A and B are shown apart, each in its own frame.
Chain A
Amino acid sequence: MVDWLKPKMRYPDGQPLERQPRWRRDFPIESGEDAYVARRDFVKFLVLTSAAFVTGQLWILGRAILGRGRGALPRTRIAALDEVPVGSAKMFAYPGEHDQCLLLRTAPDTYHGFSQTCTHLACAVTPDFENNYLLCPCHHGYFDMTTGQPLAGPPQRPLPRILLEIAGDGIYAHGVELRT
């Protein structure tokens, strides 16, 4: 440990620590100073925690800057027009293979696409067409099936919406809309 970091102690006989009896070398902090030293060490720990939080903030800043450099997301065919019956859903991966999404068909001409990852703690949501919501079974979060907005439970952010394009030869995903 660096010398200037060590607490300076004065002993009754005025001798340095190295010349003190063994018991004082083993327990160098007097009981009256103990609370002072413990609180000071706690302050050091809190400052270290503060530095860790700043590191986290800078990491988020780095992610935000790197995210700006990415171009438009690819246009990907996810289903044929008559592949998904009314009142059912299809899972697909977009934009990456690990980004699971749901294509929901709530009416003959109405399709919705949402990320399947719950915005609370990333469990997979499941559709309930009878009640028109998406349910996260982990912590009972509910999302509106048409808007993706949280209805109940712990989730605070809506599900990311997958931008869909209905073309003659199928349904395409061409972007992701993040929302707060």
Chain B
Amino acid sequence: MSYREPLQRQQKQTIVSGVLCFVGILVILQLWLLTATMNAHLGGDNSVVVPAAVASVICLALNLGLLYYLYQLDQRE
């Protein structure tokens, strides 16, 4: 069984900063999806509604996965 050294504070901060960037990008992507979908829907074009909803759910799943990883980071110590 391999021994994993606990992460240093600076290392954890770097990881959290990286996760924050990813989550931020995904949230901005979701915002764009929402506005584009609403614009299309109000113009009568509903062909993008389902794909956009699926993409948004995938983004949320990724965000939740990253958040879960952060919690695991704390519980590792």
Residues of A near any B CB (own CB < 8 A) = 4-5, 7-8, 32-33, 35-36, 39-40, 42-44, 46-47, 49-51, 53-54, 56-58, 60-61, 63-64, 67-68, 119, 156-157, 160, 177-180
Selected A-B contacts with CB under 8 Å, 28 pairs: A8-B75, A39-B17, A40-B16, A43-B19, A43-B20, A43-B23, A43-B66, A46-B24, A46-B63, A50-B23, A50-B26, A50-B27, A50-B60, A50-B63, A53-B27, A53-B34, A54-B56, A54-B57, A54-B60, A57-B34, A57-B56, A60-B34, A60-B41, A60-B49, A67-B46, A157-B43, A180-B39, A180-B40
| Chain B residue with Cβ nearest A178 | B44
Q: Once the chains are docked, how many angstroms separate the CA of A155 from the CA of B30?
A: 23
| Chain A residue with Cβ nearest B66 | A43
Residues of B near any A CB (own CB < 8 A) = 9, 12-13, 16-17, 19-20, 23-24, 26-27, 30-31, 33-34, 37-46, 49-50, 52-53, 56-57, 59-60, 63-64, 66-67, 70-71, 74-75, 77
| Chain A residue with Cβ nearest B32 | A53
Q: Once the chains are docked, how many angstroms separate the CA of A50 from the CA of B20?
A: 13
Q: Is the interface of A mostly helix, strand, loop or mixed?
A: helix
Contacts of B59 on A, CB cut-off 8 Å? 50, 53-54
